[in-house]
Amino acid sequence: MNKLLPSVFRKVQSEPKIVDDSIVYSEIPLFKPLLDEYESVDNPMTEVEQRIIKDIIGCKDDIFKVLPTEKVDKGSRFDYEAWLNDESNILRYVRARKNNLEEAKKAIIKTLIWRIEYRPHAITPSDVEHESLTGKTYLNGFDLNGRPVLFLKPHLENTKDPKSQIKSIVFYIEKAIKSMPKGVTKITILIDTTKMTFNTLVSPKTSIQFLDILQSHYPERLGKGLIVNPPGIFVFSYKVVSPFIDPVTKKKIMFVDLKSDRNTSDKNEKDLGPFTNLSKYFDLDRLEIESGGNFPWRYNHSVYWKHMEKEFE
């Protein structure tokens, strides 16, 4: 069987492993996609979008005037001029604001100010390592469209500071964007709620804060949000948070029940949303067993962190 796997995957499998109940597990994360370039699934830029982008770039001097000065104590400085000169950045805001020039401009200014003040580009591994000790948040692998996959496992929560928790997720989103192969502009977020309990339930306030950052500062970055095995306690929380989810974002959220393999006709759809099958989005041989795939992989912080620091240094 190993001979039939792609060469990149075979290389991962040859790395050190651990054995548990006859299953041989790897601990080496998948940070490299199978292909260097994927066919884009984004819609081509329209003439209207091109015109709006040109108009926004044309008034960049006015935009720069309202930006604060970045307080740099460590790390690199945010190059807002280079950011605004990248048409792909502007396009995401234009589409998120449905081709409304003024709304797109306001959203861009909001993000530029946030990037200058929050400084996501300057977050270092050491800043967030304590949030990753249990393996509650990590990048590992890519979906069928080449999108980096960000795993969230709420049952492994080990801290109580919402600001630190969100900072960690922002760190991983930034790294996911850097790891995108050519032709890819979005990420997939897989939230495994299988073992979620009331004590590990993310507070609605923290969830809403994260949604605001995702929707305001990473528009058009979510390719698919997959929530695995949602328990009753999650359903309750989702109902509270759901009104704060942008309709476009909500359409990208799907649910997966690994036990019953429900689909969009399931009776619980009215409480959550459409159910789907992971095989529609993943090569299951490259998706970890714990989250519904066939890849015998498990999180070991010391091993993962060493590879993560090397990959994104």
Q: Domain ranges in the chain?
A: 2-30+124-311, 47-122
- 12 pLDDT band (50/70/90 cuts)? very low
Could you confirm whether domain 47-122 is CATH 1.10.375?
A: no
Mean predicted confidence (pLDDT) in 292-305: 96
153 φ/ψ sector (left φ>0, alpha ψ -120 to 50, else beta) = beta
Reported as a single tens digit per residue, the pLDDT across 111-120 is: 999 999 999 9
Six token digits for residue 35: 């292909």
Fold of 2-30+124-311: Phosphatidylinositol Transfer Protein Sec14p (3.40.525)
Alpha helices, H only, 162-283: 162-178, 204-217, 232-241, 247-250
**Side-by-side strand order, sheet with 187-192:** 137-142, 148-152, 187-192, 222-228, 253-256
Torsion angle defined by CA atoms of residues 4, 7, 9 and 10, in that order, rounded to the nearest 10 degrees: 70
Closest residue by Cα to residue 188 from 216, 225, 146, 218: 225
pLDDT tier, 269 (very low <50, low <70, confident <90, very high otherwise): low
User: What is the residue whose two structure tokens read 């960690």?
Assistant: 168
Query: Is the pLDDT assigned to residue 14 strictly greater than 70?
Result: no
Judged by DSSP in three states, 123 sits in: coil
Q: How far apart are CA 101 and CA 236, in angstroms?
A: 38
- Rounded to whole angstroms, the Cα distance separating 125 from 130 reads 9
Least confident of 3-12, 35-44, 69-78: 3-12
Query: What is the band of 270 on the pLDDT scale with cuts at 50, 70, 90?
Result: low
**pTM of the model as a whole:** 0.89
| pLDDT tens profile 144-177 | 999 999 999 999 999 999 999 999 999 999 999 9
Q: How confident is the model at residue 265 (pLDDT cuts 50, 70, 90)?
A: very low
Q: How many residues does the chain have?
A: 313
